Structure 1
């Protein structure tokens, strides 16, 4: 008898709840038993091709066990078979396939009965480098890696996070090698804790299995966790994106990232994932798991629209750069019948209203709903108002029905009058029709939850509340960003109006949000930027320098066809930024401007700013030593007996504090990397200490022993 094989099989079966009942050495067979309720089951497992299973089968059958004789398999094959059987892999994949088809059908059917869904790949980056496959393919290609990986898929509101999550699930269904644990995380008013949410999802998706068994298969990498809308779980606090408040949630995720586990989180771009604290947290755990950040950008019209429709749109007065950068509107223009498309481009400036009027008119026909388009808008705006007030984006269906009956009774009564008296329904009937509205029926994943079908639609009705309230004040980015996205396709006059309504709210958000939302709405940054930093933003045709920009740092930002009035810029640093298109700089700089580690064409800036020569350590040895000491103290602060950090983000080291210029600090980092004192770890945005050079590090810091 192969004792090694026997031990491995016992370990595998024990994990699935079996007990070793008996070993038949002459027959070369081992029997495992499992009791489930009234049933006693026995697996007759041969340990060789020549094993005799008849006696073990007869013995255990005679004592009342339901016996199954297994084929001779390797431990790995045995584990796979047990996994398929216990997790009902085939039936779960079939259910997920139906969910995928229903989700995709819900996207295109409102536009035309014969419309076909197709996942359109948008430009994206992987850890800062341009991707060439698709976000879903990038994830699937890494699932067989023998290490734990956390995938963070980031995009603006309404830019395809949920579609990408479903596309990952769809690809896993096709491959059949992995089982997705997929959930859309809709935050309700109870603000659940991540750990309990995840354990609850495990119990709901696998009710007959122990959570310990499911977690063990997550660790093995067979169960791939895909959580859509992670930002919905971020607790609302006085400092919404304060890292210290959110770190316990990330630490919980880290606890699940062991073995070969793979966890995919989709989230809107949030300050939580941009700051120095998060980068340091990720670097601290880089030896435990790998972080893959996938950022989805704005869609390309060429990928979305057929050539004839693209040419027709280009021939109109439509502001394509602003109006057609949203997948929701592109889906509309891609799928609607030709006659509807022709009508849209006749008056392109009303694109957004035409989109909603089209959907709401179809809804009247779909549900035989005797309710005007304007009345439907009024009710949906009221629902959005309650979401804003209650701080939730989805709720139980019964709650939404009661809300409609409570707040929209006048609209319901007006609709009832339009029905023939012989066919007139009651108020509850109308309220339930609205709760089943095409713009509210999110998906089958949360069948008892009601939320707007996508963030563009949510933003439309949030914006309606903002415009109608002169004193509107709310700094919840989950509502601000969708409102901004929904208004970007509108006229500049309408965009300015929304901005004026939310200016006071933006004062209570992080500077990155304030800068991003303002730039998206009016194509300019019209307020001072001072003593702060923005990270990971994309600016397209934005004007900088309408107001002072002083002692400010742009980290990993992208600038396309932007304008810089340099006479308002002083002490500004561009670190690892990308410059594309026809960027323009005018005037004479008011102060120093530093371009460090740039990508693309930054000549437009370099031509008009005074280049600062790299510090020559042979000429200024004391100064060079102080700079290197400043860098290394970021890892080993003064007054600390031990090293505090192994990794540090370059952006945090080069922020200009400490009396040194950012370019000096950047050059000092370069020199330390050149000498091997610092190394580049998993990301070019970080540096790490080379512990093999610890004596030299101590010497530079003046702490030699």
Structure 2
């Protein structure tokens, strides 16, 4: 057999810690040895189909080695067999199957003992384009690409990030070619660094293997890293959203993205992933790895409920287009017994309270817990209050048990009094029952960690705390977003009350969050928008322009059935926005409104602003000036070297100085048409065509 083949085998075995012990030329056999503790192992590997392994087996057996005679395989097959053996692939996949079963049963079993879990495909987008598969299938379908890839899966609180992560794991279990390295990130008070988190996960999941070997298989693409809840790692002690504070963490991720590595991160929408700074970082790394950004939207109600139940809900006053579009409530309505469902739709205004009463009453039976629904709610709200004040969303079980004993003495004593004297437990026993509550203990495989079972439940008890304190002030998105989400099915008066309590807190959040939360609770934006920009919003049934909007830019936002009050809008730009449904525009704009790169039905807005939109300048000299200004975004004046290969269109088109957003956008279009700018994988970016660099130098006057 050829020497190159033998050398390839030697390299493969070397990565797994073997040494080349002996080559039997006549027999066409090579022997690799590995010493582990007291054991000496020898792999006898044939280099051809007619190789003779008997002599090598006898020699090394006599020398005390535990010998394994391998079948003749290609180098690729050999590598895969070593991978399966060293990584105990079968046992790891069996464990992941159990974890998946425990997770999915934990979602549906609180509703009915015979309830079946089904992953529901929610609407989603991939790099700004509407997805056609499912978020999980979208990831798995790209794993075979011969390049490193970073998948960023974003969704609002309670909208399926963890379910999607588990669904990816399930699909990989069915595909024997990949091994998931999956972790629900510990959401405690500490702010770990990504490198340490990943290395710790490697050590915990593969304790008998070196981290270097595991990282090699990550680079090879066989191990797919899936980290759920990445946004928790972004929280520093000073809790800033400034990009430069978090960029080192992203750079660290980039260091792991080599070869064919694939890393999947799930996260709620966060300021880190908005704006020019992040887009520029992603563009600057486009040559190193591909970023696939998947955004999960609201679920389609018809996908969750049977036609019979959907018709029953349509006949009621439930806000089916608004607050009901939440996976938690849809799971409840999908899984509960028929008689319970009929009772719910008879009084839809009590949907949320019936959901919690249903679960808390089942808990009384499940755990033989003699504690009223009201008392259970009080204790769980206390736990949520401690989370808010101490800044955590998951803690050690012992901490929660001790917290309940210290803070709920009266509630525990009242409950203990309901037990017969002969069967009466002590307070610690009862506190442990609370720590094992169906609304806590997110994962039965991680008994040491206690957190609320999902974001909707967390938000319910967070909002309870908010409404108890007139002067409540906390800008932690981990608590604000679930609270707002949990109020989706509530009445307008209840939403207005919550909004009133969190207004002061919203002052300290980004404008995107402030718009999003205010719109969800009030159906409008009742504060000034000026000299700023929002990104990635999905607004439905919202009035924009109740108060003035000026010098403002909406980037990659979606508007459904919204009303635009133009008389209060001036110098407003909609860049790469989508318009669906029955949007309307009223009045005459106070200043220019720019629609750039839009999609969907924009006739309503174009017709309304027609008379107020300036035609692009036709002067050739002016066109050249705007094109030069665009190119200067890549190579600023005063810089000797080119600064950027890629630039986000949103940053280029931000109004600046004498040039208007539409003029900059038209200049980008002309430069793309001329071939000086190219469109990379993401539609929101443009990049310089280096093959035309001499022309670009000439336009910029850089010789």
Q: Structures share a fold, TM > 0.5?
A: yes
Classify the secondary structure of the residue corresponding to 2:608. Answer: coil
Q: Deviations over 1:454-496 (max 9, x none)?
A: 1111111111111111111111101110000001111111111
Maintained 8 Å contact 1:680/1:687: yes
Deviation, 1:446, is: 3.0
Once residues 551 and 152 of structure 1 are traced to their aligned partners in structure 2, the CA distance between those partners, rounded to angstroms, is 30
1:667 correspondence with 2:681: no
Classify the secondary structure of the residue corresponding to 2:585. Answer: strand
Deviation, 1:614, is: 4.6
Q: TM-score under structure 1 normalisation? A: 0.98
Once residues 588 and 61 of structure 1 are traced to their aligned partners in structure 2, the CA distance between those partners, rounded to angstroms, is 91
Q: Deviations over 1:622-644 (max 9, x none)?
A: 22222112111111111111011
Structure 1: gaps (5+ residues): none
Once residues 300 and 497 of structure 1 are traced to their aligned partners in structure 2, the CA distance between those partners, rounded to angstroms, is 28
Maintained 8 Å contact 2:593/2:613: no
Equivalent residues in 2 for 1:439-454, closer than 5 Å: 439-454=439-454
Deviation, 1:238, is: 4.4
Deviation, 1:563, is: 0.5
Maintained 8 Å contact 2:558/2:578: yes
Q: Deviations over 1:209-242 (max 9, x none)?
A: 0000000000000000011111111123546321
Maintained 8 Å contact 2:304/2:334: yes
Q: Deviations over 1:64-117 (max 9, x none)?
A: 111100001111000000000000001110110111011100000000111110
Deviation, 1:387, is: 1.0
Maintained 8 Å contact 2:352/2:489: yes
Equivalent residues in 2 for 1:73-84, closer than 5 Å: 73-84=73-84
Deviation, 1:174, is: 1.1
Once residues 261 and 134 of structure 2 are traced to their aligned partners in structure 1, the CA distance between those partners, rounded to angstroms, is 22
Equivalent residues in 2 for 1:453-602, closer than 5 Å: 453-602=453-602
Maintained 8 Å contact 1:473/1:504: yes
Deviation, 1:176, is: 1.6
1:410 aligns to what? 410
Equivalent residues in 2 for 1:25-44, closer than 5 Å: 25-44=25-44
Deviates further, 418-427 or 403-412: 403-412
1:653 correspondence with 2:656: no
Once residues 469 and 611 of structure 1 are traced to their aligned partners in structure 2, the CA distance between those partners, rounded to angstroms, is 47
Once residues 567 and 613 of structure 1 are traced to their aligned partners in structure 2, the CA distance between those partners, rounded to angstroms, is 17
Maintained 8 Å contact 1:235/1:246: no
Deviation, 1:523, is: 0.9
Q: TM-score under structure 2 normalisation? A: 0.99
Deviates further, 235-244 or 359-368: 235-244
1:633 aligns to what? 632
2:232 aligns to what? 232
Classify the secondary structure of the residue corresponding to 1:277. Answer: helix
2:272 aligns to what? 272
1:381 correspondence with 2:381: yes
Maintained 8 Å contact 1:140/1:171: yes
Once residues 31 and 176 of structure 1 are traced to their aligned partners in structure 2, the CA distance between those partners, rounded to angstroms, is 28
Equivalent residues in 2 for 1:44-59, closer than 5 Å: 44-59=44-59
Maintained 8 Å contact 1:276/1:652: yes
Deviation, 1:406, is: 1.3
Q: Deviations over 1:544-594 (max 9, x none)?
A: 111010000000100000001110100000001000111011111011000
Deviation, 1:431, is: 0.8
Maintained 8 Å contact 1:550/1:572: yes
Structure 2: gaps (5+ residues): none
Deviation, 1:186, is: 2.6
Q: Deviations over 1:307-360 (max 9, x none)?
A: 111111111111112221100000000000010001101110111111011001
Maintained 8 Å contact 1:186/1:393: no
Once residues 451 and 532 of structure 2 are traced to their aligned partners in structure 1, the CA distance between those partners, rounded to angstroms, is 36
Maintained 8 Å contact 2:349/2:491: yes
Deviation, 1:702, is: 2.5
1:141 correspondence with 2:141: yes
Maintained 8 Å contact 1:397/1:435: yes
Q: Deviations over 1:440-460 (max 9, x none)?
A: 110145331111111111111
Aligned residues: 702
Once residues 11 and 409 of structure 2 are traced to their aligned partners in structure 1, the CA distance between those partners, rounded to angstroms, is 63
1:432 aligns to what? 432
Once residues 494 and 80 of structure 2 are traced to their aligned partners in structure 1, the CA distance between those partners, rounded to angstroms, is 58
Cα RMSD between the aligned structures? 1.1
Once residues 137 and 61 of structure 1 are traced to their aligned partners in structure 2, the CA distance between those partners, rounded to angstroms, is 48
Q: Deviations over 1:495-525 (max 9, x none)?
A: 1111111100000011000001111111111
2:310 aligns to what? 310
Q: Deviations over 1:164-191 (max 9, x none)?
A: 0000100111122110000001321121
Once residues 38 and 380 of structure 2 are traced to their aligned partners in structure 1, the CA distance between those partners, rounded to angstroms, is 51
1:691 aligns to what? 690
Maintained 8 Å contact 2:528/2:547: yes
Once residues 327 and 569 of structure 1 are traced to their aligned partners in structure 2, the CA distance between those partners, rounded to angstroms, is 36
Maintained 8 Å contact 2:585/2:608: yes
Classify the secondary structure of the residue corresponding to 1:388. Answer: helix
2:295 aligns to what? 295
Classify the secondary structure of the residue corresponding to 1:339. Answer: helix
Deviation, 1:684, is: 1.2
1:102 aligns to what? 102
Deviates further, 239-248 or 435-444: 239-248
Once residues 220 and 238 of structure 1 are traced to their aligned partners in structure 2, the CA distance between those partners, rounded to angstroms, is 38
1:615 aligns to what? 616
Once residues 482 and 679 of structure 2 are traced to their aligned partners in structure 1, the CA distance between those partners, rounded to angstroms, is 37
Q: Deviations over 1:114-145 (max 9, x none)?
A: 11100111111111111111111111111111
Maintained 8 Å contact 1:678/1:687: yes
Once residues 127 and 62 of structure 2 are traced to their aligned partners in structure 1, the CA distance between those partners, rounded to angstroms, is 61
Maintained 8 Å contact 2:159/2:327: yes
Maintained 8 Å contact 1:184/1:446: no
Once residues 391 and 33 of structure 1 are traced to their aligned partners in structure 2, the CA distance between those partners, rounded to angstroms, is 52
Maintained 8 Å contact 2:589/2:612: no
Once residues 469 and 435 of structure 2 are traced to their aligned partners in structure 1, the CA distance between those partners, rounded to angstroms, is 25
Deviation, 1:692, is: 1.9
Once residues 26 and 279 of structure 2 are traced to their aligned partners in structure 1, the CA distance between those partners, rounded to angstroms, is 60
Once residues 404 and 643 of structure 2 are traced to their aligned partners in structure 1, the CA distance between those partners, rounded to angstroms, is 55
